[in-house]
């Protein structure tokens, strides 16, 4: 076996629903480039998942291209990784049906994200919204992924994928790799700047709650200056200081400094100095991403070449898995 074959496989996908937040970046996308030398990485812009809630088709196409450019700007190298757009690879939908027939209704009923999104979109509680964790399982299992980088809120969906893989293997014989979570230890969950008890989200109605990775420097600094902290003025990481602890976590990730170093750096200084420092550090950290994104979006032909090649490579791998799954369940060979 070659060195490439000896490496474990990582799969991860991200929805193209607007610009990535700082939370998406710190919790997921910033790690993708770093994983490429150690693992065989497969990354997807999961546009099929995006339509579980209503989308403007024109905006969805634009956001999908932007999301693809963004993962490259954040460090994904299409020469080192397989990077593609989900809807370009038919095997995801094909495997989805097979896996749906190995998924229990009760399992899907317990998915907290279905409950949350149903509450947010009560006029469009569609079947896709209910079953999309099965499509997520297909995304992962089609490539026999060993590891899946997931945020804390996605662990439930990965557990479902594991259960479905084990159930299928038990019924039809070994085929799918049972994936394990890959969760970064630091900065895995970035909280809202206006409500540090909840996760940073692009759906937050307060524009100051969320940092987007393409925000201009002055916007980033202004949002951090307005961040909610507490009545204390000491820069110290503690459970009873969720606002300042969230800012320290962000500052730690973008500067590489540990909490003790940060506390020493800002000893005797107020929150104003610290918030400004965090804003400037985040802006500086994201500048290369902004610059590379602009360069890529100006070269649509190169982007198309990358996502077309990525889709072909993904299809070459996943169709073998799907063909084996079809045979195992008893379908007649098509060719």
Which residues belong to the active site?
117, 199, 202
Q: List C-alpha distances in Å: 288 to 30, 251, 284.
A: 12, 17, 8
Three-state secondary structure string covering 120-135: HCCCCCCHHHHHHHHH
328 touches 90 (CB < 8 A): no
Q: List C-alpha distances in Å: 201 to 13, 193, 248.
A: 17, 10, 19
CA atoms of 169 and 176, how far apart (whole Å):
7
Dihedral in degrees, nearest 10, Cα atoms 227, 233, 235, 237: -80
Quickly list DSSP for 169-195: HHHH-S-S---EEE--SSSSSPBPSS-
Non-local CB neighbours of 267 within 8 Å, separated by 6+ positions: 235
List residues bridging with 182 in a β-sheet. 149
* 42: three-class secondary structure by DSSP: strand
CA atoms of 83 and 72, how far apart (whole Å):
9
List residues bridging with 84 in a β-sheet. 44
């Amino acid at each position: 076996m070659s060195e490439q074959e000896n490496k474990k496989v990582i799969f991860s996908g991200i929805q193209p629903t607007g610009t990535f937040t700082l939370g998406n970046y710190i919790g997921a996308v910033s790690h993708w480039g770093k994983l490429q030398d150690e693992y065989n990485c497969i990354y997807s812009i999961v546009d099929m998942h995006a339509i579980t809630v209503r989308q403007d088709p024109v905006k969805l196409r634009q956001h999908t291209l932007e999301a693809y450019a963004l993962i490259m700007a954040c460090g994904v190298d299409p020469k080192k990784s397989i990077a593609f757009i989900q809807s370009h690879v038919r095997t995801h939908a094909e495997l989805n049906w097979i896996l749906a027939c190995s998924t229990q209704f009760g399992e899907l009923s317990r998915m907290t994200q279905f409950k949350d999104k149903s509450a947010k979109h009560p006029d469009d509680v569609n079947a896709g919204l209910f079953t999309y964790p099965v499509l997520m399982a297909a995304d992962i299992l089609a490539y026999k992924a060993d590891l899946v980088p997931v945020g804390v809120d996605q662990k439930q969906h990965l557990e479902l994928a594991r259960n479905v893989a084990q159930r299928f293997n038990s019924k039809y014989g070994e085929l799918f790799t049972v994936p394990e979570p890959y969760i970064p230890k630091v900065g895995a969950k970035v909280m809202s700047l206006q409500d540090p008890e909840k996760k940073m989200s692009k759906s937050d109605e307060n524009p100051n709650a969320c940092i987007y990775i393409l925000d201009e420097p002055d916007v980033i600094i202004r949002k951090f200056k307005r961040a909610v902290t507490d009545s204390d003025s000491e820069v110290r990481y503690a459970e009873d200081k969720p606002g300042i602890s969230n800012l320290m976590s962000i500052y730690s990730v973008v500067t590489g400094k540990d909490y003790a170093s940060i506390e020493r750096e800002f000893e005797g200084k107020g929150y104003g100095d610290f918030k400004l420092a965090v804003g400037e550090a985040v802006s500086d950290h994201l500048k290369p991403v902004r610059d590379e994104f602009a360069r890529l979006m100006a070269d649509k032909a190169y982007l198309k070449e990358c996502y077309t090649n990525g889709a072909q490579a993904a299809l070459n791998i996943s169709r073998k898995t799907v063909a084996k799954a079809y045979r195992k369940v008893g379908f007649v060979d098509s060719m």
